[in-house]
Amino acid sequence: MNDIIVLGSANMDLVVRQPRLPRPGETMFGAEFTTVPGGKGLNQAVAAARAGASVSFLGAVGRDEFGSELRSCLLNDGIDVSGLQHVDIKTGTAHVSVLDGGENAIVVVPGANNSITALNDHAKKKICDARFLLAQFERPTALILEAFRIAKEAGVTTVLTPAPVREVDRELMQLVDVLIPNAQEACELAGIGDEDTAALELSRSVGLVIMTRGSRGALVAGAGEIVRTVPAIPARAVDTTAAGDTFVGALVAMMAEDMPLERALSAATAAASISVTREGASTSMPTRTEILDVSGLEQTRG
């Protein structure tokens, strides 16, 4: 039995560090090229595992070198990969431009991530035996909807990161216990330009909205009201890739051990602040000891 089941993507990030984005038709030089295990699902799984949770990953990769590397990455962090399927489609890739100042631009080629549209019996059992189901929008909508239906019937808490943002099925929203968008995603989902108003509107459809706002921290809304705001921890950003995924993974890990929401949010904020000071996606994610040290929380487990 795992604390958290992550139904998500696994991509190999192909990362170029460059001063800015090129103009149409322009060729420019980059400073560095690296490959880093990523994908929003893998990122969140790794973040949760490093924060102390027992994690199982439900995903798909190709029968290629990238697929083998991603499987090894998950195993190295103690993540159960019995639900990782190998298919005859190339492993997903994310083409990441990291700009001077730490901001990034990303193009994702889903590949194997889109190859599975229904859960097998093993995946269904893993979900029913978990405490939390965590998903993102880098897998097919039908697959996420099926998983959330099963989770709700089994009393499993459902958590959705609506990224990349897209139109959400009304039924799916009604199955979400915790929705974690960033400010832009919240506005697009709600069809409202003001981020605070968007969060309030979304909180009328789901159990709880936790909207991340980068250097401005996070806002929590429930039942049409702002519950609390959480300040960010100042950090000198080197690379913001996967900072949001780090926040989500660490947050759900702390929630899975029944940590009060306020303390879990503090830990997640600390985890994100550490990640932006390091390069890469999964490679930037902190350990539980680092998170507790920066957040000032006492060690409560292990």
- Residue 245 annotated in active site: yes
Residue 105 within a domain: no
pLDDT(223) > 70: yes
Residue 29 within a domain: no
Residue 52 within a domain: yes
How many structural domains comprise the chain?
Answer: 1
pLDDT of the residue at 302: 43
pLDDT(249) > 50: yes
Range of the domain at 86: 4-10+40-91+111-295
Residue 102 within a domain: no
Residue 21 within a domain: no
18-26's contacts with Cβ under 8 Å and 24+ in sequence apart are 18/97, 18/98, 18/99, 18/100, 19/99, 19/100, 20/99, 20/100, 21/97, 21/99, 21/105
pLDDT of the residue at 137: 95
State how far Cα 7 lies from the chain centre.
10
- Of the ranges 17-21, 42-46, 212-216, the best mean pLDDT one: 42-46
> Would you list which residues are annotated within the binding site for K(+)?
239, 241, 275, 278, 280, 284
Residue 90: how many other CB atoms lie within 10 Å: 18
Burial class of 271 by CB neighbour count within 10 A (0 to 12, 13 to 18, 19+): buried
Reported as a single tens digit per residue, the pLDDT across 192-205 is: 999 999 999 999 99
> Would you list which residues are annotated within the binding site for ATP?
182, 212-217, 244-245
Among residues 80, 88, 245, 258, which one is catalytic?
A: 245
If you average pLDDT over residues 207-214, what whole number do you get? 95
Reported as a single tens digit per residue, the pLDDT across 148-199 is: 999 999 999 999 999 999 988 889 999 999 999 999 999 999 999 999 999 9
Residue 103 within a domain: no
Residues 182, 187: Cα–Cα separation, whole Å:
9
Q: In this structure, what CATH number is given to the domain that contains residue 118?
A: 3.40.1190.20
Residue 208 within a domain: yes
pLDDT of the residue at 301: 47
Assign 301 to helix, strand or coil.
Answer: coil
Q: What are the start-end ranges of the H helices in 88-156?
A: 121-128, 141-153
- Mean of pLDDT over the chain: 94
- Residue 219 has φ and ψ, to the nearest 5°, of -125, 135
Residue 104 within a domain: no
Residues 128, 93: Cα–Cα separation, whole Å:
30
Reported as a single tens digit per residue, the pLDDT across 61-70 is: 999 999 999 9
**Token digits for 177?**
């216990």
